[in-house]
Structure 1
Amino acid sequence: MTRRATIVRKTSETSVNLTVDLDGTGTGRIATGVGFLDHMLDLLARHSGMDLTVEATGDTHIDFHHTTEDIGIALGQAVRQALGDMRGINRYADICMPMDETLTRVALDISGRPFLVWRTEFPAAKVGEFDTELVREFFQGFAINAAVTLHVETLYGANAHHIAESCFKGLARVLRTALAVDPRAANQIPSTKGSLGG
């Protein structure tokens, strides 16, 4: 079974063409027009093991909000589509992700029930030209559209870049584990209900 999906999202504000291969090698081909977001998505691909291609244009002359949010939405939709009926996946994962002085805890349930708990604050409003509040917008768009339960809590940290990076790397690593197929239960849906979602 090929766990791969492409999402094309076009609005009056953005154009996003995104492809994900859940069983890839961690290759990222990223061009969003937002340098910091490119960096975060590249490390998301690398540490999750997914192949991720993103081509996006947007109203970045205004700010980076719509581009960041819509890429999160498209990635969530692509992951959900690529998962199919979620048969055989580990489903759950959590990690405490260190990044120098920062430690962020990320926990994931590929439940079919979208929910984000966000307990991360940034000591600076921007990293370069990127508004740090947009990190939450990306995670919100992803969690709701992937239909996952996602908890992100930064326990401590002093550098805004490191905090953002620990969040994205943490997401990458929990995806790597939760999306993986357990060979002992490859034909089973990991729920006593017999289905995931709702």
Structure 2
Amino acid sequence: MAGVFVTSQGISQPLANSGLVLQNGGDNLSVPVGATTFKFANSISYGTAYDIKVLTQPNHMTCSVVNGSGSAGHTATIAASVICTQNTYSIGGTVSGITGDYVVTLTNGSTGGQVTLTKDTPNFTFGTPVADGQAYGVTVLSITSATVTPVKLGCSVANGTDVMGNANRANIVVTCAPN
């Protein structure tokens, strides 16, 4: 049996991470990093049922099989596909020191996304997740007030830059104070 790795957009992509094991019945296949095709060692005969599954997910990714079950026909190749995506996780943290009607907007300049903070926001989480292994960088985009001109509040960001690991992160600390 053979298949091809594709992204959800249908563009061929090499397997990025190690650890993927596919299974068809009792036939297991370890798929190497960089692979764009796969082929099980054991062939199946015409009319034989097949059911290709992901036995072990690759590191830091989630894969699924498309068109992985059916009955072998007259063709030599079964057109099963494996779609893999990098796992993503949220980033966020805590904020302190915002007073009055100040509005602080943070941005993740590396991967996109913004979050708006006020005096009533003790914790925050960006709505745009970050892929495992990707760098992120959170900074203050703006500080505004409807009643105070010029703005008399300054904010700093601690733990705002890092490379995403394999779990949600809530360790960003935003500290604001009058300036």
TM-score range, shorter chain: under 0.3
TM-score if structure 2 supplies the norm length?
Answer: 0.24
| Greater per-residue strand proportion | 2
Task: Identify the structure with bigger relative contact order (alpha carbons < 8 Å, sequence gap 6+).
Answer: 1
| Greater per-residue helix proportion | 1
- Structure number, greater radius of gyration: 2
